[in-house]
Amino acid sequence: MDFHLTEVKPGAAVFQGEPGDHLHNPMNTVHGGYLATLLDSALGCAVMSRLPAGVGYTTTQLNVHMLRPLFADSGPLRCEGVVLHLGRTMATAEARVVGAENGRLYAHATTTCAILTPRPTA
């Protein structure tokens, strides 16, 4: 999908991507699923960056707000996810997609993640 992790620190993750024609929907704009996947990736990695080794997570809720159309030639994007709450069984985070060169806000999202602790073996 032409995006990748560029930075991670405890409680935050940054992805950068480049939209292209291959992501167009029938309306000739970049498919909203691209933005949702980019946001979900940054949100999940931000949560994962705060978890101890061996503990996982899964997205249980993803709320995406798309604010303006995205086109193949809109330029590079930056998406930063930040953890808001990390509990024993649930975590929440928020993320924003902005134009890397112009700072325009294209979309933002929040997530709730279930924390998956390892199961005891018998």
Residue 122 lies in a domain: no
Q: pLDDT tens digits, the chain, 122 residues: what are they?
A: 899 999 999 999 999 999 999 999 999 999 999 999 999 999 999 999 999 999 999 999 999 999 999 999 999 999 999 999 999 999 999 999 999 999 999 999 999 999 999 887 77
Residue 121 domain-assigned (yes or no)? no
The model's pTM: 0.94
Number of domains the chain contains: 1
What is the pLDDT, as a whole number, of residue 118? 87
- Burial class (CB within 10 angstroms; exposed 0-12, middle 13-18, buried 19+) of 90: middle
CATH number, domain at 10?
A: 3.10.129.10
Tell me, yes or no, whether 57 lies in a domain.
yes
Q: Is residue 81 part of a domain?
A: yes
Where in the sequence is the domain holding 54, given as residue range(s)?
Answer: 3-116
